[in-house]
Amino acid sequence: MRLTHLLGTAVVLALGASAAMAERGADGQLNIIYWQAPSTMNPFLSGGTKEVEAASMVLEPLASYDQDGNIVPRLVEQLPTVENGGVAADLTSITWKIKPGILWSDGTPFTANDAVFTWQYCTHPEGGCSQSSYFDGVTSVEAVDDLTVKVIFAEPKPYPYTAFAGSESPVLQAAQFADCLGAKAPECTDANFGPIGTGPFVVTDFKPNDVISLEANPNYREADKPAFGSVLFKGGGDAASAARSVLETGEFDYAWNLQIEPEILTQMEAAGKGSVVVSFQTSVERLHLNQTNADSGLSAEERSVYNDGNNPHPFLTDPEVGKALSMAIDRELLVEVGYGKTGQVTCNVLPAPELYASTANDGCKTQDLEGAKAVLDAAGWVPGGDGVREKDGVRLSVLYQTSTNSVRQGTQALIKQWWNELGVEVELRNIDASVFFGGDPASPDTFQKFYADIEMYTNNFSGADPEAYMANWRCSEIPGPGTQWQGSNIQRFCKPEYDALVDEMAKTADLATRGELAKAMNDMIIQEYSIIPLIHRGGTSAHANTLGGVKMTDWDSELWNIADWHRVE
C-alpha cells in the first residue's frame, strides 16, 4: 500500500520533471567559441566587445536592438515614447515601466532600485566605468515606485534610449554590487566574474581568459526558455581555428568575429556543416594615431598620457602627416585581400546609418601616393639621408601595433609597404588579442594604454543612435592612470569645438540637424587625422546548421536573442 503510494508519487514527479524538461533546457548544451576570451563578466569594467557579449547572456538592459536596428522592449512592458507618455513632452525625462514579476537569478525581485544603483555605479567619480557615455546628460535616475524607473536629463534628450538600452548598458543587481562602488569596483572579483542577472543563463564557473560555463536561469521570465540547458563559452585560440571548429569539424555551434582571409572562409563554408552570416552595421577597422607621446623613454606617468595637452606626439598631431598617411593607403586592395564580401571601403568612422554618414571625405577611396608625397613635401617633411622623412630633427618613424590575426598582419604588411614608399619608417608589432583587448591595467600591451604611435582595430556601437558613440572622443574620455586606463577616447583626441558639438547634439531634437551634427563631428575627427578609417566591416560569424534562431546583428550583442536559440534537425 505504502509502496504503491510512493511509486505513484515517483511517477508523478517523474512526469512533472519530464514535462519541464521538454521545455527549458531540452536541447542540451550549446557550445560557443569566441576566439578572444573574456576577462570579466562585468561590461562596465571593460570596453571590449567580447566581455559585453559574454555578459549579455546574463545581464540584460531594459531594451535591446533587434537585427534591423529597431529598439525593442526587453524588461519593460512597452517602449516609452512621447505618444504613450513614457517620454516627457519636453524630452527631459523618460519613464520605463518594468514588467511585473521579473526575478533575478537568485530569486529576488528585479526592481527600479537596481537601475538607480546601476546609474550610481557607472557614474561614480572614482570608478572609471567604460560605458559612462551611456549616462551622458543624465542628471538623475529615480525609482518612482518598485517598477517605475525615471531617467531625468539635464537638457531635452531627443534620443532618450541611451541609459539601459543595448547590451553595453545593462542593469546590475544592487544587492550584489553594493560594496563595489568607485575604486573598489575591480576588486569585487566574485561579483564581476559571476554577476547575478535576469538573462536566460547563469554563470556556474568563470575562468578568466578561458572558459565560462553557464546553465539555464531557473528564474527566467519565460518558462519554456532558454531551449538550451547549459552553455559552454570557450574563449581563446584564433579566428581560423574557431571558424574551422564550426564550419568543418562541428565541435562548436557558434563562432564569433571571423576575421579570416576571404579565400579560406569560402573554402571552409564549402564543407557544409555550418553557414557564415554577415551583417553590416557600424564596425569600422581603423587606425588610431596617438596624439600623445608614447616614447618608451618616458615614465609611466607621462607615456601616452594626455596631461592636458602638455605631452603631444612629436608629429602625429600634425594633420598634414595624417593626411599623407591616409592618402597612401589603397583601401580597395585591403578589402580585396583581407575581407572579400565581409568588408567595404570607408572614409568615415561613422559609416552608418545613412542619415549620419558623411560624404565629405570620400576622396580617400582612391590611393594617391604622389599626392601624399607632395603633402609631406609642402609641410616641410623632406627625405633625410636614409630615405626617412624628417623635419627639425624629428624622423617620421612609427610603431604600428595591432592584435595577432593574420588578416591584420597582412594589412600591416601592405600599409607598411606604402608608408615606406612615402618615406615613413614603420615598425610592426602584434599582440595576442586576449592581452591587447584584455583591458588589464597592469599590462603595457593593451589598446587603451596605447604604448605605440599607431594602432589598428575595429570598434562599433550598439544601437542606432550615434550620440553616445560620438561622445567617446570627448576630452574627458581620454584614458590615463587616473582612470585605471578606462575611457574610450583611445587616440587622446581633445578639441573644445568637438566637445561643444557633442553637447549640442545632446540637446538637439530635430533628426536632420542631428544628422548634420554627427557628420560634422565625424568630419572633424577624420580631417584632424586622429583616426584613419580603413574598412567598413560586416560582423562575420558562423553558426552550425543545427542551430536555429540566430538573428545576427551588429547593432547589439550578437547573443541578444540567445534565449530563442534552439536545436534544429
Residue ranges that bind other proteins, judged by CB under 8 A: 240, 260-261, 263-264, 267, 296-297, 333, 336-337, 404, 406, 409-410, 412-414, 416-417, 427-430, 432, 443-445, 451
The least CB distance from residue 295 to other proteins, in Å, is 8
Residue closer to other proteins by CB (options 140, 406) is 406
Q: Determine the Cα–Cα distance for residues 409 and 48; give it in Å rounded to an integer.
A: 20
Residue closer to other proteins by CB (options 102, 414) is 414
The least CB distance from residue 303 to other proteins, in Å, is 9
**Size (the chain), residues:** 569
Q: Is residue 276 within 8 Å of 542, Cβ to Cβ?
A: yes
The least CB distance from residue 26 to other proteins, in Å, is 37
Residue closer to other proteins by CB (options 268, 559) is 268
* E strand spans, 222-304: 230-235, 254-255, 274-289
Q: Which three cell numbers stand for residue 343?
A: 568588408
Burial 48-62 (b: 16+ CB within 10 A, else e): bbbbbbbbbbbbbbb
Residue closer to other proteins by CB (options 240, 357) is 240
Residue closer to other proteins by CB (options 278, 337) is 337
Residue closer to other proteins by CB (options 155, 248) is 248
Residue closer to other proteins by CB (options 412, 508) is 412
Residue closer to other proteins by CB (options 72, 414) is 414
* CA angle 564–565–569, rounded 5-degree value: 130
For the chain, how big is the Rg over CA atoms in Å? 25
32: Cα within 13 Å, side-chain hemisphere: 26
* E strand spans, 331-438: 343-345, 382-383, 389-391, 394-395, 397-403, 425-431
The least CB distance from residue 50 to other proteins, in Å, is 18
Residue closer to other proteins by CB (options 204, 417) is 417
* Residue of 298, 213, 231, 276 lying closest to 28 (CA atoms): 231
Strand 397-403 and strand 454-459: the pairing is parallel
Q: Is residue 536 within 8 Å of 31, Cβ to Cβ?
A: no
Residue closer to other proteins by CB (options 152, 428) is 428
The least CB distance from residue 402 to other proteins, in Å, is 9
* CA angle 189–194–199, rounded 5-degree value: 150
Residue closer to other proteins by CB (options 433, 501) is 433
Q: Which three cell numbers stand for residue 299?
A: 615614465
Beta bridge partners of 367: none
Residue closer to other proteins by CB (options 23, 427) is 427
What contacts 24+ positions apart, CB below 8 Å, involve 507-516?
507/155, 507/156, 507/157, 508/158, 509/91, 509/156, 509/158, 510/158, 511/158, 511/355, 512/355, 514/158, 514/159, 514/355, 514/356, 514/467, 515/355, 515/356
Q: Is residue 339 within 8 Å of 332, Cβ to Cβ?
A: no
The least CB distance from residue 337 to other proteins, in Å, is 6
* Residue of 369, 367, 360, 321 lying closest to 534 (CA atoms): 367
The least CB distance from residue 309 to other proteins, in Å, is 24
The least CB distance from residue 458 to other proteins, in Å, is 18
The least CB distance from residue 262 to other proteins, in Å, is 10
Q: Determine the Cα–Cα distance for residues 140 and 88; give it in Å rounded to an integer.
A: 15
The least CB distance from residue 241 to other proteins, in Å, is 8
Residue closer to other proteins by CB (options 148, 420) is 420
Q: Is residue 119 within 8 Å of 113, Cβ to Cβ?
A: no
Chain-centre distance of CA 251, in angstroms? 26
The least CB distance from residue 325 to other proteins, in Å, is 17
The least CB distance from residue 427 to other proteins, in Å, is 5
Task: Name the DSSP class of 452.
Answer: S
Residue closer to other proteins by CB (options 297, 385) is 297
* CA angle 68–537–211, rounded 5-degree value: 85
The least CB distance from residue 246 to other proteins, in Å, is 15
Q: Determine the Cα–Cα distance for residues 139 and 29; give it in Å rounded to an integer.
A: 44
The least CB distance from residue 426 to other proteins, in Å, is 8
Q: Which residues contact 24 (CB under 8 A, 6 or more apart)?
A: 216, 220, 223, 224, 225, 226, 227, 229
Strand, coil or helix: what is 95?
strand
